[in-house]
């Protein structure tokens, strides 16, 4: 189920609200929170099964396995050798499942390609959210191993941690330590709920009004093949994609955070105006924060981070960034995308550090933005070859030349949406004058958000407008 | 004492502020929940509709719950389309959305370009050289096998060429004039006369009357101009002929209005009737065993797609027998552009066999043997022709 | 071995079983084409429909581009009438590698066909939208019918 679907908004959510908020055990706080956890966990399973009716089994296996591992680690906490063996086993299991479902086909195809073999492989669909929940489970297991968190002896709260539907299929990747206490006790209040509603509507608006609208332009531009695009058109295209992916992804995170708040949870922020970054390092502090911190905490620092000399640091950065690339998808263009950032970060850290500090701020912002947009070319393409032709088109030396009539058409029709999304992503609207009185400001905000919500519903319904063209001839 | 009072007022202020914030939060929460619950109830309570008049399609109904439909995920997909198809006020919501789209500068809606003066344009079909060559070589082969027949090819440009000035700025597809020129070069050498619509339409001073604003067809007026040119090609004298245009509707909203959801303008439909020489005719629709004495189906003016008033729509094979004083018989391969022109042809042929290859699955050989044709006409509009795959099959059957 | 270890191994076993179940479609059913046809027919009674009849190999070639020798079994029921969209095609593949190209050919045909009926005949196009294309254990079924769900379950049971 997607948050931006009618089923979720008008059927699933009302039912979950009803079951969750109507108290059953008025006097027994402990029982009431267990009931709330149960409702949330059960509805999360329904939520997941709605999109992946078969793969729910896989998730249940993962929950039960990692829960048991946690208990096992706790039991053998005093015995470092056994403890380590258990951890290795757990990591192999989790990565094995992820690897099998996500990378098996990719690996086999590459082996075939390299050695001229023709091994066949079953074409299994990728289970939605597996990259997210596997990483969440791993963070728990590793933290228990390290003794950073207490073991969860109750299956229900642990299952809730893995399945919680707001962040289940697109993050943010919540670390167990951030949420441990909330699983037992959390404040549910009207103010928090209202805050959640604001977050949710903002995310929905980002996704439905901004991302879908601007994404349609990108799809339109690339639908006729990318090698014959003129430079102007291809820049418009990649700008639109840059906006689409930010509003899509951060919109989803906002909705997740908002829903979490409604149910009393606090998730960490996942995006912090990434396109206002002044360097690549800065960009990755602001983009998909929960993933970067996961890799930092569970790969980069355990490998030694930057404390073991330059050579080792460079090696560590390389490892982290190839993995980051691969995490996003089983294809070479994602690896290239990860490597692109790895190399840039190494350069920024060791070569251009002093140079970068001399460049005036506005230029740094523009440079960062250009690099990020070039990065998205790798990310958005279906293959490395396609990314190459797109980049060639962007230089103006491609088959399409510099501009044509289509470029003018796109420029004139897309200018307004590009301007609005651009200004919004660059955080310009943040600085708009607001009413001084706090209550007044809040009222304006609330009314504005409700209008946005209604617009979102209108756009959601209209997307399915699907007229049959009688006599299309 | 004073200080105490001051402190107190500060605290009460803060408490008041908190109260206000909570009140605003409460109203937001209530509004949010009310909206989703209200919509949920409306979906539940409003009786389900079977058809959408506006979209001209069957709407999704409540899906059936079975184990296999759940494990395959089909139930979930169908349920979502059920909700969105039966959404309260769906038609109005969609009109509102296209209005918003247009106000933020969107010039294209569902493959339809929104032009000036209320004109809507369909996207031009891309020129696929291989397909064109495939079709034209079938046509050429047919011409070679039927050397004795008088053959004409009438390929109309679309409004995106004729009314190109009214298209949204910047959308400049390849000129259809050149595409037509290329097709002409492919078919003309085989003895097929080319009816040059571009020349006829270009000579018109006011071109806005040649196409509907809201539909992808040409108007009866344009068909009449093309018909005059065709008559010249076939050697039909129109000296004593007299045609009259009647207006039958002014509330026509065609396919382009429908698919874009832009419904701000309407069109007039005219029909053209030959007054001299006056003929009577019988129209027989073989596939449905139906015979009528008219080429117009007035009932269709009460339905959504009023263009079906011509010939009652598209049929695989229609045979028109007339009382015309001639032995000439015409075989017509056509798309729906021909439908409004056929009444103009009736005074000049004893029999017209109209074949729409898209629905035609018979053998052409049999028809060629059954009727002794003297004339053959291919009548298409360029957009349909370029995407066509059925004419080849029909000619080779 | 302690209880936790047993539970962990149990998870591994269940996982393996699950993966085998998922990839299990690669096995080939022992049923013959005729048996499957009979079972499906019992559900939708296509052979009793007046307009619809069994088509010869030439028709199959014309409609889908398939040569009957390429398959272990192929049967096709359709109507000559233009406005009748209901049809049924059952294929037993010789080799799973055929699956993609066969599926592609059928999907392309459905697309072409529904383009013809879109808006022209809403009931027909709704039926075409709900076409069935399922693969299980060497068998492929394609059908346009009023009762797609029953048809699928009959097919799955028979294979």
pLDDT digits (tens, 9 = 90+) for A304-334: 888 888 888 889 999 999 999 888 888 888 8
Kindly state the average pLDDT of the residues A393-400. Answer: 83
Contact, B121 vs B281, CB < 8 A? no
Q: Is the pLDDT of residue A124 over 80?
A: no
The pairs formed by B282-286 with CB atoms below 8 angstroms and a separation of 24 or more are: B282/B320, B282/B321, B283/B311, B283/B318, B283/B319, B283/B320, B284/B318, B284/B319, B284/B320, B284/B321, B285/B312, B285/B315, B285/B317, B285/B318, B286/B316, B286/B317, B286/B318, B286/B319
3-state secondary structure of B53: coil
Kindly state the average pLDDT of the residues C36-41. Answer: 79
Q: Check CB contact of C116 with chain B, cutoff 8 Å.
A: yes
Q: In chain B, what residues touch C125 (CB-CB under 8 Å)? A: 57-58
The verdict on A246 and A171 lying in the same domain is: no
Q: Is the CB of C119 less than 8 angstroms away from the CB of B57?
A: yes
Q: Is the CB of B93 less than 8 angstroms away from the CB of A462?
A: yes
Q: In chain C, what residues touch B74 (CB-CB under 8 Å)? A: 149
The verdict on A363 and A286 lying in the same domain is: yes
Taking CA–CA distances from C119, the nearest residue in chain B reads B56
Taking CA–CA distances from A71, the nearest residue in chain C reads C4
Of C2, C5, C118, the CB nearest to A472: C118
pLDDT of residue A121: 65
- Residue A114 placed within a domain: yes
Of B51, B68, B69, the CB nearest to C122: B51
- Residue A1 placed within a domain: no
Of B58, B74, B316, the CB nearest to C82: B316
B234/A42 Cα distance (integer angstroms): 77
The verdict on A374 and A433 lying in the same domain is: yes
Tell me the residue range of the domain where A92 lies.
Answer: 6-186
Please identify which of the residues A113, A121, A328, A365 carries the catalytic annotation: A328
Q: In chain B, what residues touch A458 (CB-CB under 8 Å)? A: 93, 96-97, 100
Question: Residue A469 — pLDDT band, cuts 50, 70, 90?
Answer: very low
Taking CA–CA distances from A58, the nearest residue in chain C reads C15
Interface test with B, best of C24, C58, C82, C113 (most B CBs within 10 A): C82
Q: Is the CB of C22 less than 8 angstroms away from the CB of A54?
A: yes
Which positions ≥6 away from C17 have C-beta within 8 Å?
Answer: none
Instruction: Using the 3D structure, point to which of A186, A202, A232 is the last residue of a domain.
Output: A186
Contact, B105 vs A417, CB < 8 A? yes
Taking CA–CA distances from C122, the nearest residue in chain A reads A468
Q: Is the CB of C18 less than 8 angstroms away from the CB of A469?
A: no
- What is the average pLDDT score of chain A? 87
The verdict on A179 and A304 lying in the same domain is: no
C-contacting residues in B 44-63 (Cβ below 8 Å)? 51, 56-58
Interface test with A, best of C4, C24, C27, C123 (most A CBs within 10 A): C4
pLDDT of residue C154: 80
The pairs formed by A401-404 with CB atoms below 8 angstroms and a separation of 24 or more are: A401/A230, A401/A231, A402/A230, A402/A231, A402/A232, A403/A230, A403/A231, A403/A232, A403/A233, A404/A230, A404/A233
Q: Check CB contact of C81 with chain B, cutoff 8 Å.
A: yes
Going by C-alpha positions, the residue among A415, A339, A432 that lies closest to residue A379 is A339
Q: Is the CB of B314 less than 8 angstroms away from the CB of C82?
A: no
A183/A149 Cα distance (integer angstroms): 13
φ, ψ at A198 (rounded to 5°): -60, -50
The verdict on A167 and A213 lying in the same domain is: no
The verdict on A305 and A444 lying in the same domain is: yes
C-contacting residues in A 116-145 (Cβ below 8 Å)? 120, 122, 124
Percentage with pLDDT > 70 across chain A = 97
CA distance A59 to chain C (A): 10
Name the more confident of B325 and C124: B325
- Residue A358 placed within a domain: yes
Among positive and negative, which fits the CA dihedral B358, B361, B363, B369? negative
Of B36, B100, B336, the CB nearest to A9: B36
Of B24, B54, B94, the CB nearest to A446: B24
Kindly state the average pLDDT of the residues A284-298. Answer: 91
Q: Is the CB of C149 less than 8 angstroms away from the CB of B69?
A: yes
3-state secondary structure of B377: strand
Which positions ≥6 away from A231 have C-beta within 8 Å?
Answer: A393, A394, A395, A396, A398, A400, A401, A402, A403
pLDDT of residue A471: 37
The verdict on A171 and A235 lying in the same domain is: no
The verdict on A166 and A281 lying in the same domain is: no
- In tens digits, what is the pLDDT along chain B, a chain of 397 residues? 556 666 667 788 888 888 888 888 899 999 999 999 999 888 888 888 887 777 767 788 888 887 777 877 788 888 888 888 888 888 888 888 888 887 777 788 878 888 888 899 988 888 888 999 999 999 999 999 888 889 999 999 999 999 988 888 767 777 889 999 999 999 988 889 999 999 999 999 888 999 999 999 999 999 999 999 999 999 888 888 899 999 999 989 888 888 887 777 889 999 998 888 888 889 988 777 788 888 898 888 887 788 889 988 888 889 999 988 888 999 999 998 999 999 999 999 999 999 988 878 778 888 888 888 999 999 999 998 998 888 888 888 7
Q: Is the CB of B169 less than 8 angstroms away from the CB of A408?
A: yes
Taking CA–CA distances from C27, the nearest residue in chain A reads A122
Q: Any idea where the domains of chain B sit in the sequence?
A: 129-396
- Residue A471 placed within a domain: no
Q: Is the pLDDT of residue A445 over 90?
A: no
Instruction: Using the 3D structure, point to which of A186, A212, A245 is the last residue of a domain.
Output: A186
Interface test with C, best of B61, B68, B71 (most C CBs within 10 A): B68
The verdict on A205 and A138 lying in the same domain is: no
Q: In chain B, what residues touch A417 (CB-CB under 8 Å)? A: 104-105
Of B40, B71, B169, the CB nearest to A53: B71
Q: Is the pLDDT of residue A117 over 80?
A: no
Q: Is the CB of B66 less than 8 angstroms away from the CB of C149?
A: yes
A365 flagged as catalytic: no
Q: Check CB contact of B287 with chain C, cutoff 8 Å.
A: yes
Which of A234-243, B24-33, C43-52 comes out lowest in average pLDDT? C43-52
pLDDT, tens digit (0-9, with 9 covering 90-100), for A85-102: 999 999 999 999 998 888
The verdict on A167 and A200 lying in the same domain is: no
Structural domains counted in chain A: 2
Question: Residue A242 — pLDDT band, cuts 50, 70, 90?
Answer: very high
pLDDT of residue C119: 57
The verdict on A283 and A409 lying in the same domain is: yes
Instruction: Using the 3D structure, point to which of A158, A186, A214 is the last residue of a domain.
Output: A186
CA distance B144 to chain C (A): 25
DSSP output for B121-155: EEPPPP--HHHHHHHHHHHHHHHHHTTTSEEEEEE
In total, the C-beta contacts within 8 angstroms joining chain A to chain B are 171
Q: In chain B, what residues touch C83 (CB-CB under 8 Å)? A: 287
Taking CA–CA distances from C149, the nearest residue in chain B reads B69
The verdict on A448 and A398 lying in the same domain is: yes
Q: Is the CB of C120 less than 8 angstroms away from the CB of B66?
A: no
Q: Is the pLDDT of residue A222 over 90?
A: no
DSSP β-ladder status, B351-355 and B329-334: parallel
Cβ neighbour number for residue A74 with a 10 Å cutoff: 17
In total, the C-beta contacts within 8 angstroms joining chain B to chain C are 36
Q: Is the pLDDT of residue A161 over 80?
A: yes
> Is-cis flag, bond preceding B70, omega within 30?
no
CA distance A21 to chain C (A): 35
pLDDT of residue B222: 94
Of C80, C123, C153, the CB nearest to B58: C123
Q: Is the pLDDT of residue A470 over 60?
A: no
Q: Is the CB of A10 less than 8 angstroms away from the CB of B83?
A: yes
């Amino acid at each position: 189920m997607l948050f931006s679907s009618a089923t979720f908004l008008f059927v699933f959510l009302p039912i979950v609200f009803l079951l969750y908020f109507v108290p059953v055990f008025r006097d027994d706080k402990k029982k009431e929170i267990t009931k709330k956890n149960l409702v949330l966990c059960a509805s999360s399973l329904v939520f997941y099964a709605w999109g992946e009716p078969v793969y729910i089994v896989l998730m249940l296996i993962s929950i039960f396995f990692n829960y048991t591992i946690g208990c096992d680690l706790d039991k053998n906490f005093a015995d470092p050798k056994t403890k380590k063996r258990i951890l290795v086993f757990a990591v192999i299991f989790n990565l094995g499942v992820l690897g099998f479902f996500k990378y098996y086909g990719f690996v086999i195809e590459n082996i075939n390609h390299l050695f001229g073999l023709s091994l066949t492989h079953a074409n299994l669909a990728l289970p939605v959210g597996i990259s997210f929940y596997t990483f969440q489970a791993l963070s728990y297991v590793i933290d228990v191993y390290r003794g950073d968190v207490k073991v969860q002896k109750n299956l229900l709260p642990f299952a809730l941690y893995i399945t919680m539907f707001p962040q289940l299929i697109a993050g943010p990747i919540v670390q167990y330590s951030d949420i441990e206490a909330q699983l037992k006790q959390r404040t549910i209040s009207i103010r928090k709920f209202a805050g959640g509603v604001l977050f949710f509507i903002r995310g929905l608006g980002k996704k439905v009004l901004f991302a879908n609208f601007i994404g349609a332009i990108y799809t339109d531009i690339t639908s006729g093949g990318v090698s014959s695009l003129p430079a102007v058109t291809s820049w418009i295209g990649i700008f639109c994609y840059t906006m689409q992916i930010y509003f899509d992804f951060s919109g989803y995170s906002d909705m997740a955070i908002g829903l979490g708040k409604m149910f009393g949870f606090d998730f960490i922020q996942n995006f912090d105006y990434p396109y206002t970054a002044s360097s690549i390092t800065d960009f990755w502090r602001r983009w998909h924060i929960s993933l970067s911190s996961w890799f930092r905490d569970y790969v980069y620092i355990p490998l030694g981070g930057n404390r073991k000399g330059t050579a080792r640091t460079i090696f560590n950065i390389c490892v982290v960034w190839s993995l980051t690339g691969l995490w996003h998808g089983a294809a070479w263009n994602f690896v290239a995308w990860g490597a692109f950032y790895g190399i840039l970060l190494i350069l920024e850290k060791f070569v251009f550090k002093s140079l970068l500090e001399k460049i005036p701020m506005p230029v740094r912002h523009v440079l960062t933005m250009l690099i990020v947009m070039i990065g998205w070319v790798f990310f958005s393409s279906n293959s490395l070859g396609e990314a190459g032709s797109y980049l060639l088109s962007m230089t103006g030396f491609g088959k399409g030349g510099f501009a044509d009539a289509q470029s003018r058409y796109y420029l004139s029709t897309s200018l307004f949406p590009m301007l609005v999304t651009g200004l919004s992503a660059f955080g310009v609207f943040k600085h708009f004058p607001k009413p001084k009185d706090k209550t007044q400001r809040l009222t304006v905000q609330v009314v504005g958000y409700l209008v946005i919500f209604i617009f979102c519903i209108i756009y959601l319904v209209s997307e399915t407008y699907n007229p049959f063209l009688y006599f299309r001839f | 004492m004073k200080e105490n009072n001051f402190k107190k007022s500060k605290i009460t202020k803060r408490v008041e502020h908190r109260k206000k914030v909570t009140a605003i939060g409460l109203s937001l929460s209530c509004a949010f929940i009310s909206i989703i619950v209200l919509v949920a109830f409306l979906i539940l309570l409003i009786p389900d509709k079977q058809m959408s008049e506006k979209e001209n399609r069957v709407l999704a109904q409540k899906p059936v719950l079975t184990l296999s439909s759940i494990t395959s995920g089909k139930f979930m997909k169908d349920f979502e389309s059920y909700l969105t198809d039966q959404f309260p006020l769906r038609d109005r919501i969609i009109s509102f959305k296209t209005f918003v789209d247009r106000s933020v500068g969107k010039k294209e809606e569902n493959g339809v370009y929104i032009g000036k003066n209320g004109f809507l344009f369909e996207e031009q079909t891309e020129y696929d050289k291989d397909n064109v060559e495939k079709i034209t070589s079938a046509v050429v082969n047919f011409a070679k096998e039927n050397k004795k027949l008088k053959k004409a090819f009438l390929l109309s440009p679309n409004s995106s060429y004729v009314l190109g000035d009214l298209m949204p700025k910047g959308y400049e597809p390849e000129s259809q004039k050149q595409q037509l020129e290329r097709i002409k070069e492919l078919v003309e050498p085989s003895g097929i006369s080319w009816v040059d619509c571009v020349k006829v339409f270009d000579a018109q001073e006011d071109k806005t009357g040649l196409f509907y604003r809201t539909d992808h067809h040409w108007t009866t007026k344009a068909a009449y101009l093309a018909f005059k040119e065709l008559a010249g090609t076939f050697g039909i004298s129109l000296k004593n002929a007299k045609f009259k245009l009647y207006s039958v509707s002014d509330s026509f909203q065609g396919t382009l209005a429908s698919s874009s959801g832009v419904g701000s303008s309407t069109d007039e439909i005219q029909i053209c009737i030959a007054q001299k020489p006056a003929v009577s005719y019988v129209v027989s629709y073989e596939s449905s065993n139906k015979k009528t004495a008219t080429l117009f189906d007035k009932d269709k003016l009460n339905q959504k797609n009023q263009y079906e008033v011509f010939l009652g729509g598209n049929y695989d094979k229609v045979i028109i027998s007339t009382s015309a004083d001639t032995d000439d018989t015409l075989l017509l391969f056509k798309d729906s552009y021909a439908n409004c022109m056929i009444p103009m042809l009736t005074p000049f042929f004893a029999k017209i066999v109209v074949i729409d290859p898209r629905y035609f699955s018979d053998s052409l050989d049999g028809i060629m043997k059954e009727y002794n044709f003297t004339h053959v006409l291919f009548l298409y509009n360029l957009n349909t022709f370029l995407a066509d795959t059925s004419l080849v099959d029909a000619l080779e059957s | 071995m302690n209880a936790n270890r047993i539970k962990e191994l149990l998870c591994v076993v269940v996982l393996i079983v699950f993966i085998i179940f998922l990839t299990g479609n690669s096995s080939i059913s022992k049923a013959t084409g005729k048996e499957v046809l009979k079972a499906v027919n019992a559900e939708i009674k296509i052979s009793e429909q007046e307009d619809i009849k069994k088509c010869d190999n030439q028709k199959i070639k014309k409609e889908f581009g398939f040569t009957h020798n390429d398959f272990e079994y192929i049967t096709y029921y359709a109507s000559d009438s233009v406005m009748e969209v209901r049809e049924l095609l059952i294929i037993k593949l010789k080799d799973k590698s055929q699956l993609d190209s066969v599926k592609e050919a059928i999907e392309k045909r459905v697309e072409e066909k529904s383009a013809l009926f879109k808006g022209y005949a809403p009931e027909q196009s709704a039926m075409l939208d709900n076409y069935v294309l399922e693969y299980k254990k060497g068998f492929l079924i394609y059908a346009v019918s009023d009762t797609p769900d029953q048809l699928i379950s009959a097919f799955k049971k028979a294979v």
